[in-house]
Structure 1
Amino acid sequence: MKSQLSFPKSGASMSMMVCASHAPLMYCHARPPAEHEQVEASFASLQEQIVAFDPELVFVFGPDHYTSLFRRLAPPFTVAASCEAVDDIGGHPGRLKVPTDLAVECVSYLAQHGIDAAISYDFKVDHGISQTLHRITGAIGRYPTIPVIVNTMTPPLPPFFRSRLLGTTIGAFARGLNRRVLFLGSGGLSHNPKVIFPDFGAADAGVTSWQQQGPANTTMSSEAWYARLTDIHHEAAAALAAGGITAEDCRFNGEFDHKVIDILTSGKFSEMDLWDNPSIVESAGIGAVEVHAWLAACAAQVAAGGNLPVCDLYAQTLEYGIAVGILHA
């Protein structure tokens, strides 16, 4: 049965939205890409706009990289009612300022409108959430923030139409709050860090046990997992600068990236409804499915009464290992 969303006719809140790529190699590259200064300037400009907007609430949609979601439990969508960012490479550690009661109210609203999201009162996020939140707002604890995590690592991944409905429903919820709201979408575009996050069972026993159980496993410690991430990112940075990792290895796919940007900036979100996650992974890399977060953020922005986004930047930045995109509205 289709949910019947109610969109308040009065008291609608103002909203802004930013969707942006994240990558640890933006911080630890061995050589900056030609677009490095343009990327940095875009983030700095958006941060100035957000500070001037002074949001009263932030919803940040993004992925988890085996920090809280593992094969033992990986809900399609999780809302964090209390949250701390870990100190992973490319991330910004610390406690997020989560308004717990409002997060609980949001999860209840989602359930009443046909979206069953998990809730966590002790969630740990990594750079997939903290990097974009920090770069856009200036600090992860600056504004009241509700993290919404989309499972993009452990199959089966959520269908795209569900991510669209998730965003639409959160946007309707936000519109009724009569607050200045910022929606952030973190992740994408095409990239393929499979050497860092291999298919389950394809790596050594320590990595496999971490993917299965996280810090509860008895084979790999948390310290060893995060040290591995640091080491492998620095190795990748050197290989990218030296030509040992190519654009083909990164699965850069301009056709896919531009299709995402065109759909989101035109507001034709339902055109992504039947997109197939495995096909996207095959053609644009395991990181490309992070655009679920972009879709949710854009759908939320429009449902909250905001404008459609425009594209600020697109570049296939080999030294970052990712095709970078930035949208804002």
Structure 2
Amino acid sequence: MVYVSQTLCLSHSPGFARDDEEQFGDNFRAGLVQVRDAVRAFKPTLVVFFGSDHRRSFTDNLPAISVVYSAEGLGDLRSPTGPYDVPVDVAKTLVAELIARDFDIAVTRHVALDHGFGQTVADVIGALNSVPIVPIFINCATPPLARPARAVALGKAVGEILTDFDERVLYIGSGGLSHNPPTLALVAEGLPEHERKRISAEHREAAKDMIRPDWDEAFISSLADADTAWAEHLEQADLDPAGVGVNEVRTWLAAHAAGGKALDRVAYEPVREWLTGMGIAMSDFSAHR
């Protein structure tokens, strides 16, 4: 076996998990089925998951970037529970090599990861421990936030390191696209779950109008080029018009740079009931059609 990679970037939303009757997001759902099949056909032996947190897992200590050595699912908002299968030797190698490349990387020895990781793992792969996963946390919620270009540099470094591994690596970036969730937009720190629910309910209708389809479509189109030079020039001001939730596209930028491949647009639709522009992009996707 030799190194080969695939890249998948997609939105997540608690609204999707709560939509038991599948009333909304038909386009996104159809795309999700397609990429799930493509991942199954790819048969990854290792997943590197660039994910975010919603002020649940990382609170008192908030690194800009952290490689996780051991994790379980928090189970918030219908996300899964149970252990992740984290190959700690791979994780430790990534940390050592990233430090050698001048990343002052943090290590998280154990954490319960929220739906920013778990929802997508469940939707795309299945059980949290069904394939070895190295979770890499990128702070996308609580200022100060690293520049988008730092996520690009991180992804490039991870991809360079893993090319020496005999693995079939699936890079995943989960978050975004445009959305302005009240609990992030109106509050600076984490909240108890009952307070989250209250604030979300009070401001839900206004948040439905915060999706920016034009911004989302332009961003997805930019991923169609393997060259990430455009992303290295992104500033926070370029993201701000799409709401605070769009900061999670840092995970997309990292995954895109890690794989080093052009991403095909799989699906996009603004789902007002989920408060989010729901998109999917994947490398080599046209080959699976």
- The TM-score normalised by the length of structure 2 is 0.90
Q: Does 1:226 align with 2:214?
A: no
Residue 284 of structure 1 aligns to which amino acid in structure 2? A
Q: What is the SS of the residue equivalent to 2:229?
A: helix
CA distance in structure 2 between the partners assigned to 1:108 and 1:56 by the alignment: 21
Q: What is the SS of the residue equivalent to 1:79?
A: strand
Q: How does 1:254-293 map to 2 (within 5 A)?
A: 254-277=213-236, 280-281=239-240, 283-293=241-251
- Report the Cα offset of residue 272 of structure 1: 2.2
- Report the Cα offset of residue 193 of structure 1: 0.2
Q: How does 1:168-247 map to 2 (within 5 A)?
A: 168-195=156-183, 198-200=186-188, 208=189, 211=190, 225-229=192-196, 235=201, 244-245=205-206, 247=208
CA contact (8 A) 2:98 2:158 kept: yes
Is the radius of gyration larger for structure 1 or structure 2?
1
Pair 59,229 (structure 1): closer, same or farther in 2 beyond 3 Å: same
Residue 130 of structure 1 aligns to which amino acid in structure 2? G
* RMSD across aligned positions (CA): 2.2
Q: What is the SS of the residue equivalent to 2:85?
A: coil
CA distance in structure 2 between the partners assigned to 1:273 and 1:327 by the alignment: 19
CA contact (8 A) 1:18 1:185 kept: yes
**In the alignment, what sits opposite 1:5?**
none
**In the alignment, what sits opposite 2:212?**
253
**In the alignment, what sits opposite 2:266?**
312
**In the alignment, what sits opposite 1:15?**
5
**In the alignment, what sits opposite 2:68?**
80
Residue 40 of structure 1 aligns to which amino acid in structure 2? R
- Report the Cα offset of residue 90 of structure 1: 4.0
Give the number of the structure whose residues are more often strand, by fraction.
2
Pair 279,49 (structure 1): closer, same or farther in 2 beyond 3 Å: closer
**In the alignment, what sits opposite 2:281?**
327
**In the alignment, what sits opposite 1:143?**
131
**In the alignment, what sits opposite 1:28?**
18
- Report the Cα offset of residue 45 of structure 1: 2.1
**In the alignment, what sits opposite 1:120?**
108
Unaligned runs of 5+ in 1: 1-10, 201-207, 212-219
**In the alignment, what sits opposite 2:286?**
none
Pair 98,69 (structure 1): closer, same or farther in 2 beyond 3 Å: same
Deviations 1:5-31 (A, max 9, x none): xxxxxx851111110000000022498
**Which of 243, 256, 268 is the aligned partner of 1:298?**
256
Q: How does 1:76-115 map to 2 (within 5 A)?
A: 76-115=64-103
Pair 229,30 (structure 1): closer, same or farther in 2 beyond 3 Å: farther
Q: What is the SS of the residue equivalent to 1:148?
A: strand
Q: What is the SS of the residue equivalent to 1:68?
A: coil
CA distance in structure 2 between the partners assigned to 1:328 and 1:101 by the alignment: 28
CA distance in structure 2 between the partners assigned to 1:161 and 1:107 by the alignment: 19
CA distance in structure 1 between the partners assigned to 2:177 and 2:47 by the alignment: 22
CA distance in structure 2 between the partners assigned to 1:173 and 1:196 by the alignment: 34
Over the matched positions of the two proteins, sequence identity in percent amounts to: 28
- Report the Cα offset of residue 37 of structure 1: 2.8
- Report the Cα offset of residue 231 of structure 1: 6.1
The list of structure 1 runs, each at least 4 consecutive aligned residues, that deviate by more than 6 angstroms after superposition, is: none
The count of residues paired between Structure 1 and Structure 2 equals 283
Deviations 1:201-254 (A, max 9, x none): xxxxxxx5xx3xxxxxxxx7xxxx234445666x47xx86xxx34643xx2222
CA distance in structure 2 between the partners assigned to 1:326 and 1:312 by the alignment: 5
- The TM-score normalised by the length of structure 1 is 0.79
Residue 270 of structure 1 aligns to which amino acid in structure 2? A
Unaligned runs of 5+ in 2: 284-289
CA contact (8 A) 1:133 1:184 kept: no
**In the alignment, what sits opposite 2:37?**
48
